[in-house]
């Protein structure tokens, strides 16, 4: 199995600033890592996937890094907006899984205030 | 954009009763999953399903649970003899057939199961 820790349960930032969320894992290094967004009472929504041989991935205002030496992924939201307020989940695959069984972190609740 | 739909959105049942949670995955997806999330906890894997059989299951998915794809569109999770600790949000998910090893999961909005 895999133990995943996401930094502080809650992060509050001002609109326009960059939010940086951390995901650390402790066991094996996964072949890839995913980030999801979850709004209250809703299912997770996929945001980005980064593979072990990729250092960085970008999508619009989102950026993900993956450091297999540190066993860490950082998730950045630049020019944050109140609409970015949600819980962000880090997810890693089970090493022995052939069908994408994922382990999720507990998430970081991001609040962007105007 | 196609989406995974789940019904009902909220199910209340008494301890010991059987419940069936229903899901309609995205139509061209071939890999299906159930996850659950107890209030305030992590999203946890229950089971994956492909080609009309269970591919993997977690320790949570014991004999009390079963899954079925009764027709070409529905995917169901049955919980026999529900317990109080089964109260959670149950999410269905599906993924694309190609490169599914690292394909993202598309989740439904869940069924909130409350066992009283």
- In angstroms, the CA A79 to CA A70 distance is 27
Contact flag A44-B91 (C-beta cutoff 8 Å): yes
Rounded mean pLDDT of A67-73? 93
Contact flag A43-B104 (C-beta cutoff 8 Å): no
Partner A contacted by B94 (CB < 8 A): no
Residue A66 distance to chain B (closest CA, Å): 16
Residue A81 distance to chain B (closest CA, Å): 23
Look over chain B and give the mean of its residue pLDDT values, rounded to a whole number: 92
Q: What pLDDT digit, counting tens, does each position of B14-28 carry?
A: 999 999 999 999 988
Residue B80: band (very low, low, confident or very high) from pLDDT cuts 50, 70, 90? very high
Residue A76: band (very low, low, confident or very high) from pLDDT cuts 50, 70, 90? very high
Res A23: pLDDT: 96
- Chains A and B form CB pairs within 8 A to the count of 71
Q: What are phi and psi of B100, to 5 degrees?
A: -65, -15
Quick check: A33 pLDDT over 60? yes
Minimal Cβ distance to A99: which of B50, B91, B108: B50
Quick check: B115 pLDDT over 70? yes
- In angstroms, the CA A14 to CA A113 distance is 5
Residue B11: band (very low, low, confident or very high) from pLDDT cuts 50, 70, 90? very high
Minimal Cβ distance to A100: which of B44, B103, B110: B103
- Is residue A34 within a helix (H) or strand (E), and if so which, with residue range? strand A32-38
Res A96: pLDDT: 72
Task: Answer with the residue of higher pLDDT: A74 or A5.
Answer: A74
Q: What pLDDT digit, counting tens, does each position of B28-70 carry?
A: 888 999 999 999 999 999 999 998 999 999 999 999 999 999 8
Using CA coordinates, name the residue in chain B closest to A92: B102
Residue A42 distance to chain B (closest CA, Å): 5
Contact flag B55-A99 (C-beta cutoff 8 Å): yes
Contact flag A106-B102 (C-beta cutoff 8 Å): no
Q: What radius of gyration, in Å, describes the C-alpha atoms of chain A? A: 14
Rounded mean pLDDT of A57-71? 95
Burial of B85 by CB count in 10 Å (0-12 exposed, 13-18 middle, 19+ buried)?
Answer: exposed
Res B79: pLDDT: 98
- A98: tokens are 């052939």
- In angstroms, the CA B78 to CA B20 distance is 4
């Amino acid at each position: 199995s895999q133990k995943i820790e996401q930094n502080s349960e809650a992060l509050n930032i001002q609109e326009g600033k960059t939010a940086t969320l951390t995901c650390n894992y402790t066991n094996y290094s996964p072949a890839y890592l995913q980030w999801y967004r979850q709004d209250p009472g809703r299912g997770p929504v996929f945001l980005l996937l980064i593979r072990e041989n990729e250092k960085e991935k970008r999508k619009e205002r989102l950026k993900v890094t993956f450091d297999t030496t540190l066993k860490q992924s950082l998730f950045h939201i630049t020019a944050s907006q109140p609409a970015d307020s949600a819980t962000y989940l880090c997810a890693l695959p089970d090493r022995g899984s052939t069908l994408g069984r994922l382990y999720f972190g507990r998430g970081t609740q991001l609040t962007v205030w105007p | 954009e196609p989406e995974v739909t789940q019904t009902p959105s909220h199910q209340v049942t008494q301890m010991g009763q059987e419940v069936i949670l229903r899901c309609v995955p995205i139509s061209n997806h071939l890999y299906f999953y159930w996850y659950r999330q107890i209030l305030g906890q992590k999203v946890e894997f229950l089971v994956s399903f492909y080609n009309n059989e269970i591919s993997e299951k977690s320790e949570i998915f014991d004999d009390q649970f079963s899954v079925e794809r009764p027709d070409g569109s529905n995917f169901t999770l049955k919980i026999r003899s529900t317990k109080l600790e089964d109260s959670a949000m149950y999410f269905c998910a599906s993924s694309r057939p190609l490169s599914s090893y690292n394909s993202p999961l598309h989740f439904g909005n869940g069924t909130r199961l409350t066992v009283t």
